[in-house]
Amino acid sequence: MSAAELVLIGNPPRARVSTRFLRSELKIIFGRRRNIAGMGVLAVVPVILAVSARLSSPSQGGGPDFISAIAGNGLFVAFAALALELPLFLPLAVSAISGDAVAGEANLGTLRYLLAIPVGRTRLLVIKYLAIVIFAIAATFLVALVGTIMGLALFGGGDMTLLSGTQTSMGDGVWRLALSSLYLGVQFSALGAIGLFISTLTEQPIGATIAVVVVNVLMFILNSISQLGWLHPWLLTHWWTAFGDLLRDPIATESIQRGLITALVYACVFWLAAWARLSTKDVSS
Amino acid sequence: MTPDSVEASPVVTSGLTKRFRRQVAVDRIDLEVPAGAVYGFLGPNGSGKTTTIRMLLGLISPTAGEISLLGSWMPSAARTVLRRVGSLVEGPAFHPYLSGRANLARLDAADRFSDAHSSRRRIDAALDRVGLLAAADKRYRAYSLGMRQRLAIANSLLMPRDLLVLDEPTNGLDPQGTREVRHLISDLARDGATVLVSSHLLAEVDQICSHVGVMYEGRLVAQSPLSELRADAVQTVRVDTDRTEDAARVLSELGLSEIVTSPGYVTAALGEVAVEKIVPNLVSAYVPVLGFSVLQPSLEDVFVSLTGEGFDVSG
């Protein structure tokens, strides 16, 4: 009889396939006060946007951008909010979560206890990355959802005019919004893979988060330097604004496809880099 | 390392070495913790104990040497072996904003071998066993150091274990808590688990351990059953008398060494001299013997004789 059987109910030594660890990870991410506050900030932007658009006089004259289209259909609040949060807020949220993924556990010292359970290092990175992906997609959908609710409440719905000028039904508009959110969620998940990798390099979660933000902003800067045109298609952020193509009729798929492939390559490369780093790392924190 | 010793002993290392850049933290140690032993892993701070423990648990990889844990090679067998090993490494570490219970639930959820249905029951049993059930729903950040230490011990008891690796388990505990942990370790050992417990508190190890390994500057300078280690150490005799000068002379003639005279008594290292010859010789030399005793060496004496110095940090 082994020691702890006195206290515990003996289990058959069989590994179970279950989502318990992933669910526990999500509970930590979505239950942490800091993250709830961050999601609150994400959700406030479409509220501010909708309210200020409602209060201001419906001025005509801007280009066919999202904000001036809001007056026509409340659904555009969601699109506009996504466009506004795309350069900083959403990537920042994903940077905070992904930078914390491994570095946060190392910083607390909980990494050594997870590994001693044992949680295999590969499994740890799979679960951590799945949680990052779920967070990235959930955060994007949160912005879209709050935008939709605020827009419909203040401006109403109905048929919408697409960027290409054609009219489409409300249902089709919602469908296009869902696709846009998913597309951006995938893009931010790719950024999350960069974050996961950086998170394996350090024991300072804040440092990791800042590094991910720096990488993100650097990609935006490089993308804005026209002399570096050859580099632009290789930058992850170059494809982010392509979600606007989903508002054309027919949907312009070329950039969307290139964007998805780029995101997938970034995700694979950086997840593998994280794996290469963590699987050989001495955990002395 | 023979297959037999691997079979019999839950922890066996051969030539285990860890080099950090230029510094050798652990230097070719051959550890052997026999089945059922409570193995006291001693050494000053910085002597390589924790690095060794981290290597045993697969947290850091050895520069050279081999490790067998419960009959399997580490780290390749980590996934199957470590679930039979409960551990406490370099102090407690938990999520500060989760309760004690939620922290254990998280660690249990991460264990592929644990059963979700019995999770709550096992967590409560483990918390109860370390006396933390009443504070189970408090946030970890509100715990005292002693409570944190108890929570870390509870974590090592979540699943049935054949081997417990406890690094400084009584660190931060009050005397009452220290005694409880001592009893807990004895209970676990009695139930059949092998326990490797590192400590710098010699008196504590003295009370609970059956075997001792002593680390010094990265090397394992001694390893044996505690009784043998003590038998090898020098015994001291003490003679209480009011004529210390005469007593010292007699002891010297008998062949005792390291004679120290103090007001009222004389001590000397016994060496090879037969104990029973001492008092008759003193009496026949007209030295009044007011008291006579043979002092068993404390573990501290043993330790000092092995490392040549006190229990300080080694660089």
Q: What would the mean pLDDT of B14-21 be, rounded to a whole number?
A: 91
Same domain, B61 and B191: yes
Segments forming the whole domain that contains residue B53: 3-231
A·B CB contacts under 8 A: 144
User: Is any Cβ of chain B less than 8 angstroms from the Cβ of A34?
Assistant: no
Q: Which residue has the tokens 């990175």?
A: A125
Report DSSP letters for A182-237, one per residue.
HHHHHHHHHHHHHHHHHHTT-S-HHHHHHHHHHHHHHHHHHHH-GGGTTTGGG-GG
The reported pLDDT for the residue numbered A57 is 57
Q: Are residues B154 and B284 in the same domain?
A: no
- Please answer yes or no on whether B78 and A5 come within 8 Å at the CB atom: no
Residue B312 maps to a domain: no
CA-closest candidate to residue B202, choices B53, B314, B304: B304
Residue B311 lies in a domain: no
Compute the mean pLDDT over every residue in chain A, rounded to the nearest whole number. 89
Res B285: pLDDT = 87
Are B215 and B291 part of one and the same domain?
no
Nearest CB partner across the interface for B110, out of A11, A21, A32: A21
Contact criterion met (CB < 8 Å) for B57 and A115: yes
Residues in chain B: 315
Average pLDDT over residues B258-266: 87
Residues in chain B closer than 8 A to A114 (CB atoms): 107, 110
Q: Across residues A137-156, what is the average pLDDT?
A: 94
**pLDDT above 80 (res B48):** yes
- Please, which residues bridge with residue A96 across strands? none
| Interchain CB distance below 8 Å, A8 and B61 | no
Same domain, yes or no: B165 and B241: no
Same domain, yes or no, for B238 and B226? Answer: no
pTM (two decimals): 0.86
* Phi, psi values for residue A109, rounded to 5°: 95, -5
For residue B265, count other CB atoms closer than 10 A to its CB.
18
Residue B5 has pLDDT above 90, yes or no: no
Cα–Cα dist A145/A154, whole Å: 14
Asked if residue B242 and residue B220 are part of one domain, the reply reads no
Q: Does A169 touch chain B (CB under 8 A)?
A: no
Q: Is the pLDDT of residue A182 over 90?
A: yes
Better-predicted residue by pLDDT, A52 or B204: A52
**Statement: residue B220 has pLDDT above 80:** yes
Residues of chain A contacting residue B115, judged by C-beta atoms under 8 Å apart: 9, 11, 16
- Answer yes or no: do B54 and A112 touch at CB < 8 A: yes
Distance, CA of B10 to CA of B57 (rounded, Å): 13
Taking an 8 Å cut-off on Cβ atoms, the answer to whether A20 and B110 are in contact is: yes
Q: Given a cut of 70, is residue A61 above it in pLDDT?
A: no
The closest CB to that of A11, out of B114, B129, B189, belongs to: B114
Please say if the pLDDT value at position A8 is more than 70.
no
Q: How many distinct structural domains can be found in chain B?
A: 2
Residue B315, pLDDT above cutoff 60: no
Taking Cα atoms as reference points, which of A40, A42, A67, A44 lies closest to residue A155?
A67
Residue B125 in any domain: the answer is yes
CATH number of the structural domain spanning residue B238: 3.30.70.980
- How many other C-beta atoms lie within 10 A of the C-beta of residue B288? 12
Tell whether B146 is covered by a domain: yes
Residue in chain B closest to A5 (alpha carbons) equals B160
Higher-confidence residue of B115 and A62: namely: B115
| pLDDT for A205 beyond 50 | yes
Q: Is A66 on the interface with B (CB under 8 A)?
A: no
- Average pLDDT (B49-75) is 92
Whether B306 is in a domain gets the answer no
Last residue of a domain, one of B231, B254, B272: B231
Q: For residue B190, is it within any domain?
A: yes
Q: Which of B231, B257, B285 is the last residue of a domain?
A: B231
Mutate: best of B20, B59, B156, B164, partner A, most A CBs <10 A:
B59
> Where in chain A are the domains?
21-279
Which of chain A's residues have a Cβ under 8 Å away from the Cβ of B97? 32-33
B69 and B198 both lie in a single domain: yes
Boundary-marking domain end, from B178, B202, B231: B231
pLDDT at position B4, please? 46
